[in-house]
Structure 1
Amino acid sequence: MPWEYKTILLCVLSIYITSLVAGLDETQEDDQCTELNNTTWAEYRQLGVKLQVLYLLLTRNNMDCAHKFNQESLTRPASYFNVSRPTKVIIHGYRALGSKPSWVKELAQALLRAQDVNVVVVDWVYGASFAYNLVVENYKEVAVQISVLINQLQEHGCKLESFHFIGVSLGAHVAGFVGTLFEGKIGRITGLDPAGPMFKGADIFDRLDPSDAQFVDAIHTDSDYFGISIPVGHVDFFLNGGKDQTGCGRSRFASILVYFPVYGYVICDHMRALHVYMSALNSSCPLMGIPCSTYEDFLKGQCVDCGVFKGTCPVIGLSENSGITMSQIPKEQKLFLLTSSTPPFCAHHILLELEVSTLDKSAEVEVTLITENLGTEQRLRLQTDMTVYRTVLAHPVALCEIDSIWMTNTGARFYRQGEIHVKSVCVSEFPSLRHEAPLCVNNINIKRGVLWSHDFVQVCSFY
């Protein structure tokens, strides 16, 4: 063989081997465990906002090892992505300090334990950090880039209705705009305390709303600061009224953004939506919402059923349409529920009803429900022009596990009612899952400063 041909052959062989090795290196790189990115203030000052959108994939086959993901990943034999399975898309929100969100892997694993799905994590930390106003200006471009990936996945057989977007804070509005681009054909969008600043007065084209997917649900936990205060979905769960969460202390810095350790303290309310959602995926106790026009009416016991949903109370989690079985789901339904301060965050809604004889003076009654070493207190201020009082409180156990009820007539000696005649005091649980009758005690006289108590003898029967 002439040397010219040998040289050409060697060149071709060299190019082939180089491309083969490069392909193997790329495949190996994609198969390596990877994490979301971080960025720094110095990098931001030098380069400004970078709209670099990357993707990670987790499945039940690689729950502990996220892989880089793109369209080319689907063509590889070893790809873990399965087009026949539903796909959850996680979108984080604003990153004030440029750090990667630490909760992503925990949420992805909770989703995978609950369902056999593909979990795609959107990494847009570079474009989501530091200057919030600039981040908001560019969030739609992030949604456009995500929509390109969704189109590519459609070409490989994925159906739009099989996608469930889970957006945290600003990520909820990113998900909403993706839904807008697909004309509401996305299967579901869940907003975890959707961002409020620069969105509270926005047009529905610019924020998450019920038209963005076939079903949109949202959890609100910080609607007075970092979260949005208006309904944005078919159902909107307002936990503890949607503002101050149990276990989250109040801070004098709460109305501003702080860049130091107190930052985590400030966003406790805001991040509670995420933690409650993850707990709902892991826990067996239902977190049900009760439809009501206002939180105040809910606390007054004026809303105790789910008639608007034909008796089925919506639940937080992955149940189809939040457990609603109606063919036509109402939009922007405000749902309220009380939670505890720690996982699994479940609390039982107890309706306390007190009827007293007409009073000559105002009074104050402290009512305590006792279960073993646990007690739930509620103070009622009694007026001379009212005889019936209703209030809702959160109790850690079910009605049938309440051992006793205590009542005390508190208040100063000279301007409070000395003795209160209680016609009846009743406690009941709602929504009624086991159709239990209320626990009632009748005809009680309570003198000032004297503890009155009554023991309940009952047995729980779960069915």
Structure 2
Amino acid sequence: MPREYKTILLCVLTIYITSLVLGVEETQEYDECADLNNTTWLEYRQQRVKLQVQYLLLTRRNVDCAQMFNQESLTITQSSYFNISRPTKVIIHGYRALGNKPSWVKELARALLRAQDVNVLVVDWVYGASFAYNLVVENYKEVAVQISVLINQLQKHGCKLESFHFIGVSLGAHVAGFVGTLFEGKIGRITALDPAGPMFKGADTFDRLDPSDAQFVDAIHTDADYFGISIPVGHVDFYLNGGKDQTGCARSRFASMYGYVICDHMRALHVYMSALNGSCPLIGIPCFSYEDFLNGHCVNCDVFKGRCPTIGLSEKNGITISPIPKEQKLFLLTTSSPPFCSHHILLELEVSPLDKSAEVQVKLRTANLGKEQRLRLQTDKTVYRTMLGHAAALCEIDSIEVKNTGARFYRQGDIHIKSVCLSEVPSLRREEPLCVNNIHISRGAPWSHDFVQVCDLF
């Protein structure tokens, strides 16, 4: 059995048990409010369920009570909350292993409506998205065709293609991409939240999301080694923590089933919803690879003329240059919980030549937290650079501690550090690096230095 199908079977089993434990299915708040569908394995086996696509409308006027929306809704404007003069966000869910409706849809819709006064259309294709993943993939283009019919009708009533912003989660990202293909890339924007990888990693651009599908395509990658796709699919692709293993998600099968199976995959959605609240910026740094990023080789956004892209609803992620580069990889570090923002602190260490290898531990401290990093020092290298994710900004760091920790495994006794410097990447406030020079550290004896600085975050 191919590895991808084993992965899907594992997903189905573990999500089923998780749903029993966590109770992921929602109940309707009001009987008269529309809701997404559920389906069952029995209905699927008996072939009673055909591919059905329905649409739910949410606006600031009915944020807590979705309205069923279809072509007929457009002809009865007095009974529809849809406003043709406003932009439209289209949410498309992905694969539903158990046939249950996605529990996050209302939360995402509310976050969008808090941020902007828009129409939010939710595409409900649960009937065609459930159980057998390979058959679901066969359905996704037909779903896109049905969506395109509605978009055509909305155009006839005055909506502009550039006013549509599709937000696709997992397989939903490729559905959005094919809608964009049908409209020859004239749709305004597509945002892909960890676009699906199985059966798409080697697909032609016609069969998967790519930058030509909309005037602007951005993607967030959080599970590129499992359920997500690893290759860039947009104009800009944000790779959180390298795009694979996310902080706070379980790395063991013996941990929580949700944490092991879909935590990484769903992190893109949760980070995006957090970004919509605007509590802190989630900034991506352009770089060739995650390794280069961690090694401090990428510290600016010159390719965007100095303005780094940010996750969220800002136009083209804040990019002002034209034309926009395609398939530009952006890397950023995040924390394990909302609002997920992490400051990128570049640590630069220069040491005098060593006779033997060594190891040092560097700790950055603030009033209520600390961050440590271990560096292995080699005899043929004197300059070390590494990127750290820290909850505090550079100006909030109170002290730095350096300790020679090589007593047990290494024989280097004393280490002479020519300089140790900290700088924030990107430097939003044009701060000077924090540097300390000429440090002598004996084995097992920590050295520390306090910084006296004024922190102006505004």
Pairing 1:326-405 to 2, within 5 Å after superposition:
326-405=321-400
Inter-partner Cα distance in structure 2 for 1:235 and 1:93: 21
Query: Match of 2:284, as an amino acid?
Result: G
Query: Match of 2:68, as an amino acid?
Result: K
Counterpart residue number, 1:72: 72
Counterpart residue number, 2:187: 186
Distance apart, 1:304 and its partner CA: 0.5
Counterpart residue number, 2:172: 171
Q: Is the 8 A contact 2:250 2:259 kept in 1?
A: no
Counterpart residue number, 1:257: none
Q: Is the 8 A contact 2:91 2:120 kept in 1?
A: yes
Counterpart residue number, 1:450: 445
- TM-score, structure 1 length as denominator? 0.91
Distance apart, 1:43 and its partner CA: 1.2
Distance apart, 1:373 and its partner CA: 2.2
Pair 1:417-2:412 in alignment: yes
Aligned positions, number: 428
Q: Which of 302, 327, 330 is the equivalent residue of 2:297?
A: 302
Counterpart residue number, 1:63: 63
Counterpart residue number, 1:154: 155
Counterpart residue number, 2:218: 217
Query: Match of 2:60, as an amino acid?
Result: R
Q: Is the 8 A contact 1:209 1:232 kept in 2?
A: yes
Alpha-carbon displacement from aligned partner over 1:354-390 (angstroms, at most 9, x marks no partner): 0000001100000010001200110000000000000
Name structure 1 gaps, 5 residues minimum: 1-29, 255-260
Pair 1:46-2:46 in alignment: yes
Alpha-carbon displacement from aligned partner over 1:130-165 (angstroms, at most 9, x marks no partner): 100000011100000000000011111100000000
Alpha-carbon displacement from aligned partner over 1:373-421 (angstroms, at most 9, x marks no partner): 2001100000000000000000101100000001110023573311100
Distance apart, 1:34 and its partner CA: 1.5
Counterpart residue number, 2:231: 230
Distance apart, 1:253 and its partner CA: 8.3
Q: Is the 8 A contact 2:37 2:101 kept in 1?
A: yes
Q: Is the 8 A contact 1:192 1:219 kept in 2?
A: yes
Alpha-carbon displacement from aligned partner over 1:149-206 (angstroms, at most 9, x marks no partner): 0001111110000000000000000000000000000000000000000000000000
Counterpart residue number, 1:16: none
Q: Is the 8 A contact 1:244 1:269 kept in 2?
A: yes
Q: Is the 8 A contact 1:31 1:67 kept in 2?
A: no
Query: Match of 2:220, as an amino acid?
Result: I
Counterpart residue number, 1:15: none
Distance apart, 1:265 and its partner CA: 3.7
Alpha-carbon displacement from aligned partner over 1:211-257 (angstroms, at most 9, x marks no partner): 00000000000000000000000000000000000000113489xxx
Inter-partner Cα distance in structure 1 for 2:176 and 2:409: 60
Pair 1:82-2:83 in alignment: yes
Query: Match of 1:194, as an amino acid?
Result: P
Counterpart residue number, 1:251: 252
Runs of 4+ aligned structure 1 residues displaced above 6 Å come to none
Query: Match of 1:268, as an amino acid?
Result: C
Inter-partner Cα distance in structure 1 for 2:41 and 2:241: 36
Distance apart, 1:40 and its partner CA: 1.1
Inter-partner Cα distance in structure 2 for 1:264 and 1:378: 25
Distance apart, 1:74 and its partner CA: 1.7
Counterpart residue number, 2:286: 291
Pairing 1:24-39 to 2, within 5 Å after superposition:
32-39=32-39
Q: Is the 8 A contact 1:251 1:266 kept in 2?
A: no
Inter-partner Cα distance in structure 2 for 1:31 and 1:152: 29
Query: Match of 2:330, as an amino acid?
Result: L
Inter-partner Cα distance in structure 2 for 1:32 and 1:151: 28
Query: Match of 1:121, as an amino acid?
Result: V
Distance apart, 1:49 and its partner CA: 5.8
2:39 is paired with a residue whose SS is coil
Counterpart residue number, 1:276: 271
Q: Is the 8 A contact 1:34 1:68 kept in 2?
A: yes
2:55 is paired with a residue whose SS is strand
- TM-score, structure 2 length as denominator? 0.91
Q: Which of 274, 293, 311 is the equivalent residue of 1:316?
A: 311
Greater Rg over alpha carbons, structure: 1
Distance change >3 Å, CA 49–CA 447, structure 1 → 2: farther
Name structure 2 gaps, 5 residues minimum: 1-29
Distance change >3 Å, CA 460–CA 414, structure 1 → 2: closer
Q: Is the 8 A contact 2:43 2:49 kept in 1?
A: no
